[in-house]
Structure formats: C-alpha cells, structure tokens
Amino acid sequence: MHRACIFVPLKCWKGTAILNSFILWEEILPGSSTWSHILKRGTALRIEAIENSTNVGAIFLNADNLSERLNLPDTLKAQQIARLTTGSVLYSDMGRILCSITDDTLGWHDPLGGCSDATLVAKKYGRSTYQAAKNSWHQNALDGFLIELAKYGLNSRDLMMNVNFFSKVEVSKDGNMRFIENHSTAGTAVELRAEMNTLVILNTCQHPMDPEKSYAQRPVKLTIKKVEAPGPNDFCRNVRPENSRGFTLTERYFL
C-alpha cells in the first residue's frame, strides 16, 4: 500500500472558500508496530481505525530542533482540557504548536494513560518471543518509542508524556482514573495538521490500562495529505485566545 502522489482533490466547503487537499500517500500501520515520519508544515496525517478498540500512542518533536518537543502539561493547561479532540492543539515546550487536531470523529483521545512497557505486557498477556511467535510476538510501546527515538539520535532522556489516540480515560471527581472500554469503533478517525515540521512517532500497542485479557494487534490506516495553511478563521486558532497566541508564536518562528 504505497502509492506516491495520488492527486485526488478532496473538495469541501469551509465558509466561502473551497479548500483543496491532496492525498500524498496512504499506508496501513499494523498492530503493535512503531512508525515515524517528519510531517511537514502544510501537510496533515489522518489516522483511521480499521477495527474496534484501537489505540495509537504518539509523541511529537520539532524536526528542525529535536530539543523542542510535545509538552502535554502545557497542552492541557493552556486549553484547560484533560482530553483531546477537534480544535485541540499540541503544544511544544517552547509555546508553539506542533500539530492541530483539525478533525476528529470520536470526540476524546487520552493524554493521561502513558504507555505500556515490557513488564506490564508480560504480566498481562504472558511472554511471547519473536523466535517463538514471529510477527505476533508481544511488544510494548515504551520499547517501540525508544527504538524509534534512537533512529534520530535520541534516547531515554528524550522521552516525553505520550498521547493515546482512540482511547479514553475518564477521571472521577475524586481523581480516580477509569479506562473506557469499546470507546473507538472501526472507521473513526482523527486528523493532525502539522503547524511545524514535526517528527511524529506512532505506536499501535494496546493502551496500558486496557483491561482486555488477550493480546491484540489492531492496524490503522494512515493518510498523508497536502492541506492549506490555517487562515484567520481557522477553527483551532479561534477556539480560545491561548491558541490564537500559540498560532502567532508558531507563525513567527517561520518568519
């Protein structure tokens, strides 16, 4: 599934302007796999669930200066949210926006639960080595992130809090965290528009709080598109004054 530059104009009405977006390529990311790509400013990544109860862990770095990266506390406090959805933006530690969530058919993506590790996976699902199980061996998100970071010269000192797309962790009034089962369904999708050249690292291991007893590998469809730059009426920009300032600071970075 690697088709280069299919120029299919996807026309949609936004106010009075017709926006053209072009699919650059599509690919399938299998379950329990890691993927990385430098998502260029002016392009977007759409992640679509192919099966129910999917999870996609994600971390983000400024590809032009890897010391700048996703800061989830800044992201949550600037927007006063403990969930991510359409209109939410992902802030770096430098007050800039790495990516905006321009579309989301699900309504809630988790910024709290973190990622699985080898001990957790072995405890939940048992050990399963590559030697014994080949591609269905039991992998974990932490190792996936660390191996991928190493490809860019980074290591465990460069880890950051991760997002879990397609998962929901609800927090009760007394602070208790509850993983919501069967949150995502096949066909639900989230779209991230790069506001900077962003190193996106994805991992499709199960959510660490998912109580499901069996190890499951759930693939997602990735679509990389060319998209228009956010204009003055952009939804993510105008959703709150903090984001408007975040866009200003991000745009100044490219002046």
Partner 1 sequence: MQETMIQSSPRLPEDAIFSATVEAGDSFVHEILQGQFICIIDLEGNQAVDTLFYNAHNYADRYSAQDTIREQNNIYLTTGTKLISTERNVLLTIVADTCGRHDTLGGACATESNMVRYAIEKRSMHACRQSFLKGARDWSKQPGRELEKRDLTANINFFMNVPVTPAGELSFEDGVSNAGKYVELRAEMDTLIVISNCPQLNNPCNAYNPTPVRVLIWDAK
Query: Can you give the binding site for partner 1, defined by CB under 8 A?
Result: 67, 71-74, 76-78, 80-83, 91, 93-96, 108, 112-115, 117, 119, 155-162, 170-177, 208-209, 242, 245-246, 248-249
- What is the rounded CA–CA span in Å between residue 144 and residue 249? 32
What amino acid is encoded at 218 in this protein? R
For residue 107, is it left (φ>0), alpha (ψ between -120 and 50) or beta?
A: left
Q: Whole-number minimum distance, CB 134 to partner 1, in Å?
A: 27
Which residue lies nearer to partner 1 by CB, 83 or 226?
83
CB of 82 to partner 1, least distance (A): 4
Give the whole-angstrom CA distance, residue 71 versus residue 163: 10
Amino acid residing at 62 = N
What's the chain's length in residues?
255
Q: Please check whether residue 118 is in contact with residue 139, taking contact to mean a CB–CB distance below 8 angstroms.
A: no
CB of 225 to partner 1, least distance (A): 27
Which backbone phi and psi does 132 adopt, to 5 degrees?
Answer: -85, -40
Q: Which is nearer to partner 1, 21 or 113 (CB)?
A: 113
The least CB distance from residue 246 to partner 1, in Å, is 5
Cβ proximity to partner 1, 239 vs 249, nearer residue: 249
Q: Tell me how far, at minimum, the Cβ of 36 lies from partner 1, in Å.
A: 18
Helix (H) or strand (E) holding 146: helix 141-150
Instruction: Return the number of the residue (134 or 157) whose C-beta is nearest partner 1.
Output: 157
CA-based torsion, 21, 27, 30, 36: positive or negative? negative
Residue number with CB closer to partner 1 (163 or 200): 163
